[in-house]
Amino acid sequence: MDQSFGKEEKLKSKKLIDTLFQEGKALKAYPLKLVYFPITNPEITRFKTGVSVPKKLVKTAVGRNRIKRLMREAFRKNKYLVINNSSRAYALMFIYISREEVSMEHLTKAMLKLLEKFKKQEDFKG
């Protein structure tokens, strides 16, 4: 099982991010929110994933960077839940929606809950 989170899996395209926020669907599992959109571009075969922590909610850069690092790690460890069962590619954006900093365990539980909701919503096989 591949647990990497390489360059080809990161969401970087401005055009794709704009489309994601305009046309994407959202799911919540406090303290995380997932905005997702199916990618129709045939060149992209993998999930593209990004994380975001609003400056308005977490004031210090150190705090924002720590939460982003924890979110990426939680996704990296649990991405097999959606990637192995999906027949199509998606753009995913995980957004932190809490004012308090949270532990890795709490974030991992929220990530698992969110990925399960996403799996149910999109009717993956398996």
What pLDDT does residue 126 have? 44
pLDDT along the chain (126 residues), means of 10: 83 94 96 94 83 96 96 94 85 96 95 94 68
What pLDDT does residue 124 have? 64
Q: What is the CATH number of domain 7-121?
A: 3.30.230.10
- Rounded CA-CA distance 24/92 in Å is 9
What pLDDT does residue 58 have? 96
Q: Please report the DSSP string for 23-36 in residue order.
A: H-EEEEETTEEEEE
Residue 126 structure tokens: 């398996």
| Closest listed residue to residue 92, CA positions, set 63, 121, 64 | 121
What pLDDT does residue 75 have? 95
